[in-house]
Amino acid sequence: MQENKIKIVASDLDGTLLQYGKKKIEGEIFAQIRALAAHGIRFCPASGRQYTSLRALFAPVAEDCIFLCENGGVIYQNEQVLAKTPMPRALAEEIAWDFWQGSDGRGEVMLSGENCAYLMTRGSAMLERIRFIGNRYQIIEDPATIPEEIVKVSVYLREGVDPYVARFVPKWQQANAAVAGPYWIDTTMANKGTGIEGICRALGIGPENVMAFGDNYNDVAMLDKVGCAYIMESAAPALRQRYPHHTPRPEDALRAFLKGLEAVPQG
């Protein structure tokens, strides 16, 4: 695709722009986001994280960003909700209890509202992780007590998701169940692909005008949707085979892209 047709650059966060275990965005990406904005291109962090966490990470360039939060369940721009896709309440609660009861006493459950995480914990590692990434949260015992619409339900498995993928992912395909990293399985009525579609509608552009970066299976809906998709070289072999464009880091591809923009200005 021609470089001067890109209007949005979207990137997954954990495992893509932010390597697992790191807490802060560092390096040249902020300068790249500003350079993209100078060419009329919006940057879109696209993550399973909530808005509070994402905006804090991108605070220096937040005005140049559109935030795809909760795997597409909530879209924020300029501190306002641009779009939201709630789950049917009964389905969200059913999935939450299935995750809780069907994970052999190991799984912990997070139900996401518009900008708050509601946690069913076992005194394990999920709370530590949620604090690490900077989410707003409340501890609950029953999903029925959540006072707002639910946009995502996730299970956290501190020993890894592999033993539970076959148990949960096929069962909850009606809620787009997908592996979202080494320790998470997510469900939501949205996905990163529908989130990108919503952003494109709001901005009056097509998905073919989007470049996107991802590393995991919950990025597939986004990567399949856009005009220019990059998979991380660290991704699973099946994902590397699925997409022709590979990069070790989004910054490396963006460096080349921005160099091309200097030769082919946005029109």
Expressed as residue numbers, the domain containing 159 is: 89-187
pLDDT level of residue 244 (50, 70, 90 thresholds) = very high
* Helix, strand, coil percent values for the chain (each to nearest 5): 40, 20, 35
DSSP type of residue 188 = -
Measured between alpha carbons, how far is 115 from 98 in angstroms, rounded to an integer?
Answer: 23
Q: With contact defined as beta carbons under 8 Å apart, do 75 and 114 qualify?
A: no
Q: What is the pLDDT of residues 61-96, one digit of tens each?
A: 999 999 999 999 999 998 999 889 999 999 999 999
Which of 187, 214, 248 is where one domain is finished? 187
Is residue 96 within a helix (H) or strand (E), and if so which, with residue range? helix 89-101
Q: Is 40 exposed, middle or buried (0-12, 13-18, 19+ CB in 10 A)?
A: exposed
Answer yes or no: do 112 and 202 share one domain: no
Q: Judge if 40 and 167 occupy the same domain.
A: no
Q: Distance between CA atoms of 151 and 111, rounded to whole angstroms?
A: 8
CA angle at 69 for the pair 59 and 35, rounded to the nearest 5°: 45
Q: Any bridge partners for residue 258, and if so which?
A: none
Whole-prediction pTM? 0.83
In whole angstroms, give the CA distance from residue 51 to residue 79: 9
Question: 60 with 10, same domain?
Answer: yes
pLDDT at 267 over 70: no
**Of 132, 154, 187, the domain-final residue:** 187
Q: How many domains does the chain have?
A: 2
Q: Give the pLDDT band (50/70/90) at residue 226.
A: very high
Residues 21-54 have pLDDT tens digits of 677 888 899 999 999 999 999 999 999 899 998 9
Residue pair 81/75 in contact by the 8 Å Cβ criterion? yes
Confidence of residue 133 (pLDDT cuts 50, 70, 90): confident
The CATH number for 36's domain is 3.40.50.1000
pLDDT confidence of 1, banded at 50, 70, 90? very low
Last residue of one domain, picked from the residues 171, 187, 203 = 187
Strand order in the sheet with 245-247: 42-45, 8-11, 210-214, 228-232, 245-247
Strand 178-179 and strand 210-214: the pairing is unpaired
Cα separation of 97 and 94, whole Å? 5
Mean pLDDT of all residues in the chain?
92
- CA-nearest of 30, 47, 3, 27 to 152 is 47
Shared domain check, 243 and 120: no
pLDDT at residue 132 in the model: 86
Residue 207 has pLDDT above 80, yes or no: yes
- Single-letter code of the amino acid located at 253: A
